[in-house]
């Protein structure tokens, strides 16, 4: 699974100034001795402001900063993450239009079902070989295409373990909401693998805002 940053807009200072516009004020990066104004270093009062905004759920200033990612993950992961809709937009590759090589996600170990709840898994694992199932699905898909069956129907034989790719864009606040839910220990491991990568990339771009939003 791979998350790649494509683009972003704004900074921690964007969040600060979006909040301060209510009072017709603006701020600037902090002044460092012998260096002058240094991008990326907030003034102490602006750091406090960001923490206040996050703590009291004043979310709109965080909507003025955004990120765009390209993500490659299995279909079953994508179908969980696409449930997050507010503040996010999603465009995914479609096998109605492309017939690129089919790839499958195969875990090195399979987690056993949790005994105390209907969903989730335990820490116990086993080995299990599903290569024959993948081979059959791939061959069946290719045979159907060769027989002239429409790709939009032939794709029905492909399993949820197949990799898909999508562009995912949204506000800083929206992605923080995703990570606050999907980075939790009780989230499915495979969705955590995607959310954890987003978490790292966002922290590099918006260190103050991201820390404040992730602490909520």
Positions marked active-site: 182
Tell me which residue of 181, 197, 215, 158 sits closest to 67, measured CA to CA: 197
Core vs surface per residue 52-70: b (16+ CB within 10 A) or e: ebbeeeebebbbbbbbebe
Give the whole-angstrom CA distance, residue 73 versus residue 14.
31
């Amino acid at each position: 699974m791979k998350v790649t940053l494509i683009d972003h807009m704004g900074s921690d200072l964007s969040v600060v100034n979006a909040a301060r516009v209510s009072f017709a004020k603006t701020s600037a990066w902090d002044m460092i001795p012998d260096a002058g104004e240094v991008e990326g270093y907030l003034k102490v009062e602006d750091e406090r402001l960001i923490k206040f905004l996050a703590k009291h759920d004043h979310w709109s200033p965080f909507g003025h900063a955004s990120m765009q990612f390209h993500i490659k993950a299995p279909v079953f992961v994508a179908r969980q993450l696409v449930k997050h809709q507010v503040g996010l937009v999603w465009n995914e590759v479609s096998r109605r239009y492309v017939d690129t090589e089919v790839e499958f996600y195969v875990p090195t170990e399979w987690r056993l079902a949790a005994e105390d709840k209907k969903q989730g898994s335990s820490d116990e694992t086993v080995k299990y070989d599903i290569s024959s199932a993948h081979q059959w699905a791939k061959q069946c898909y290719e045979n159907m295409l060769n027989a002239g069956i429409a790709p939009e129907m032939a794709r029905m034989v492909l399993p949820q373990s197949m990799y898909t790719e999508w562009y995912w864009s949204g506000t800083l606040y929206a992605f923080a909401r995703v990570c606050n839910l999907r980075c939790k220990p009780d989230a499915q491991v495979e969705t955590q693998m995607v959310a954890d990568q987003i978490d790292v990339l966002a922290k590099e771009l918006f260190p103050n805002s991201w820390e404040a939003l992730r602490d909520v």
